[in-house]
Amino acid sequence: MPEPWTTERPKVLVITDDQDTGELLARLIDRAGWTSDLAFSAPSGLSELEGGVPPYSALVVDMASSEQSIEVLRAVRENPATHGLRVLICSRSDTDRSEAWVTGADAWLVHPFDGDALVAEVAAVAARADGARDAHRQEQIGRSVPDALD
Q: Is the pLDDT of residue 39 over 70?
A: yes
- Report which residue type is found at 89: I
Q: Does residue 107 sit within a domain?
A: yes
Confidence of residue 101 (pLDDT cuts 50, 70, 90): confident
Distance CA 28, CA 43 (A): 24
Domains contained in the chain, number:
1
Q: Does residue 2 sit within a domain?
A: no
* pLDDT, averaged across the chain: 84
- Of the chain, the percentage scoring pLDDT greater than 90 comes to 51
Task: Map residue 43 onto helix, strand or coil.
Answer: helix
Domain that residue 139 falls in: 11-149
Alpha helices in the chain (DSSP H): 19-31, 42-51, 66-78, 97-103, 115-127, 130-144
**Average pLDDT, stretch 88-101?**
87
Beta strands across the sheet bearing 58-62: 35-39, 11-16, 58-62, 86-91, 107-110
Confidence of residue 149 (pLDDT cuts 50, 70, 90): very low
